[in-house]
Amino acid sequence: MTYGDGDGVNYFPLVSLDICGHELSHGVTQYSANLTYSNESGALNESFSDIFGECIENFADGPNDWLMGDDIGPGGSGGAFRSMANPNLYGDPDTYHGTYWYSGSADNGGVHTNSGVQNKWFYILSQGESGTNDNGNAYNVTGIGIDNAAAIAYRNLTVYLTSSSNYAAARAGAIQAAKDLFGAGSAEEIATTDAWYAVGVGSEYNAGGGGGPMMGGAGHLGLGT
């Protein structure tokens, strides 16, 4: 396993806890869903690594900053290059096919950029948030905490997703994982569904019919690592 040295000016060696957790999580993905490292499946691959990297940092160091790589800048801070709370801050989308969504062929089809959608989903599911997404849809989600959100994400990755899974499949699997862990109609299932709606994947929770249909349409961290 190799980690980048950084450039010695803007980035020091890429060995902060969240980055190490990110890279090791690629191994978990490889030996579970084995998400193909391109396009939407690759974006999910990258996102799961960000999610579990942030969970590991939370477990070790306490309250999350929701920034990937914040500790690798000069003086041990300020080196962040992705935000899960506000992906737009670093040019990543927080809404499926919304602002900053990448549809080209670089970076294996934008795997690092488009990871922002599931990253934002996980942040909203954990913390809760009210707002309006790029589709003009207002949302209001009550957070369920990072541990419960992580359990849903992990079960989705290891039980329901396959190598070709896209964002629609990630939504369906996460909702089913929430049902498995917390029960149908639980606050956790509702929050999981509505957090996906918040990032433009599927409709809001419907007590009569669940979440409704989908709407619309070994990795590395980036920075040469």
Helix axes 17-30, 39-61, angle to 10 degrees: 130
Catalytic pick among 23, 46, 54, 57 = 23
22 a catalytic residue: no
97 a catalytic residue: no
Longest CA–CA separation in the chain, Å: 56
**102-111 contacts at long range (C-beta below 8 A, 24 or more positions apart):** 107/222, 108/37, 108/38, 108/39, 108/42, 109/38, 109/39, 109/40, 109/42, 109/43, 110/39, 110/43, 111/37, 111/38, 111/39, 111/42, 111/43, 111/45, 111/46, 111/219
- What's the gap between Cα 173 and its chain centre? 14
Catalytic pick among 40, 54, 57, 112 = 112
- The residues annotated with a catalytic role in the active site are 23, 112
